[in-house]
Structure 1
Amino acid sequence: MVSSDNNGKCREGAAAVSHPCGEEQGARADNGRVCILSSAYFGPVQWYQKLNRYECVIEQHDHFVKQTYRNRCVIATANGLQSLSIPVEKFEGSKCEMKDVRISDHANWRHLHWNALLSSYGESPFFEYYQDDIRPFFEKKWDYLLDFNTAIMEKMCELLDVRPKYSFSTEFIPIADEASEYPYSDFREAIHPKKPLQDADFHPKTYYQVYRHKYPFQPNLSILDLLFNEGNEAILYL
């Protein structure tokens, strides 16, 4: 797991790659594809699709940006979609690297998030089956957001039966554009709750949702929506 000390140095235990992302990190995934992802809090289905299909490098040196999946997830409720956001501690200056962002205990958010999941998915087919795996994330405290997101990712991959190949950046990886010749796909800007970019590789598949009688299919919600509704068949949608 990645961690860092109070001086912002990379903490021991971080898997790392050489710049820009992969030629020196060892064997690639079987399909030879490498992608860059931002860290995510119970990331959307699209994010886990990449983790399932690519060898992934998770960017830990990007600047924390509010209103992104770094600290929020989107779930379905009886009243429509709801965003659950983790509050973070204020940091000095206007920017802070993702690896150094600390979680705040403000507003009893853990209790509120768990209750929101219980209310929204308590009647879903597989909530009871998985709740003991998910509840501890709202009972234990993590200092760093990146550590918390990484622990969630590892547990979700275990439950989904996804066997990811991933590592963490050792320095900021330049954003890829049309002129770039980097040997990777960059999804840091594409996977976004407010302004997603086009992703030709992602075509949401419909699946059972608890509130299907009230709303049409709602794509690309938190991976929890897929897990609680489809159980061990969730991986078929990735």
Structure 2
Amino acid sequence: MILAAHQPNFMPWIGYFHKMSRADKFVLADDVQYTTQSFINRTRIKTAHEKQWLTVPVLTKKQGCQKINEVRIDTSRNWQKKHWKTLVVNYSSAPYFDQYADFFEQIYQQEWQFLVDLNVALIDFLRQELAITTSLFPSSQIALDLTSSTERIIGLAKELGCDEYLSGSGGSQDYLDEKQFQEAGICLKYNQFQHPVYTQQFGNCVSGLSVIDLLFNQGAEVGQYYINPSHVVLESLDWQL
């Protein structure tokens, strides 16, 4: 059984779901320390002026060190209306935007108190649209008293009955102790992801955007192909990509 894990980011990019699709179980690390200026409360979309951040305002002043699942959204800010207007302005002409408009409008009409609840709701919806059947497990619901990243991941793998851990290919090699994985009998592998080039609004393809850009422009079927091409056959692939 393969385990992967990541913080519950806000409307993550394609690579997040690519890694998730290759695991049997995926841990949403919601009880680790929240970091500002990260993808936990923001994501990027494409506009006529290239990339733009969509940021969920959160309460951090006088809060001290917070775990992700403790972070509250700043409800005094009218961020929902701003987000929704930004999506409509930049994606209303995208071929598949109308298929998702009702869902996102409803998301932005809700009064969210905790960032993690918003993020997990979006991740779960996007996971289903991409036909990912991987089971999700919040780390806060798995009792582990371990400090180092390596020990924690090994503990999660054992607790969930997994014998392989799929890590991201970014900076993970800097903090994961491969020898400890070997000694614990957990096979450590690194996910390899090549960002697809696809037709977007406003010119050439820009990488690193939220996966909603792919869904709005290409639809769920093409999105599923890019996430796991072995599971999807596209008769119209030649004109959609």
TM-score range, shorter chain: 0.7 to 0.9
Provide TM-score, normalisation by structure 2: 0.73
AA aligned to 2:223 is: A
Matches within 5 A, 1:1-238: 32-54=1-23, 55-90=25-60, 92-169=62-139, 170=142, 171=144, 174-176=148-150, 183-187=164-168, 190=171, 201-212=192-203, 216-232=204-220, 233-238=222-227
Identity in percent: 24
Using the TM superposition, give the Cα deviation of residue 162 of structure 1 relative to its aligned residue in structure 2, in angstroms: 2.1
Q: Which has the higher helix share?
A: 2
Which whole-Å deviations, capped at 9, do the CAs of 1:39-88 have from their partners, x for residues lacking one?
11111111111222212111111111111111001000011100111111
Tell me if structure 1 keeps the 8 A contact 2:166–2:191: no
- Determine the C-alpha separation between the residues in 2 that align with 1:200 and 1:50: 6
Residue 206 of structure 2 aligns to which amino acid in structure 1? Q
**Larger displacement relative to structure 2 (85-94 or 61-70):** 85-94
Aligned residue pairs, count: 195
What is the alpha-carbon distance in structure 1 between the residues aligned to residue 51 and residue 122 of structure 2? 21
Q: CA deviation at 1:175?
A: 2.4
Find the counterpart in structure 2 of residue 28 from structure 1.
none
* 5+ long unaligned stretches in structure 1: 1-31, 192-198
Q: Which residue of 2 aligns with 1:11?
A: none
Over aligned residues, Cα RMSD in angstroms?
Answer: 2.5
SS at match of 2:5: strand
Confirm or deny: 8 A CA contact 2:45 2:51 kept in the other structure.
Answer: yes
What is the TM-score with the length of structure 1 in the denominator? Answer: 0.74
Structure 2 CA distance for partners of 1:56 and 1:187, relative to 1, 3 Å = same
- Which residue identity does 1:40 align to in structure 2? N
Please list the CA deviations of residues 84-118 of structure 1 after superposition, one character each: whole Å capped at 9, or x if unmatched: 11111236453101111111123311111111111
1:206 CA displacement: 1.0
Structure 2's unaligned 5+ residue stretches are: 158-163, 173-189, 228-241
**Runs ≥4 in structure 1, deviation > 6 angstroms?**
none
SS at match of 2:103: helix
AA matched with 1:117: L
Q: Quick check: which has more Rg, 1 or 2?
A: 2
1:37 Cα shift?
A: 0.5
Task: Name the CA shift for 1:95/1:65 in 2 (closer, same or farther; >3 Å).
Answer: same
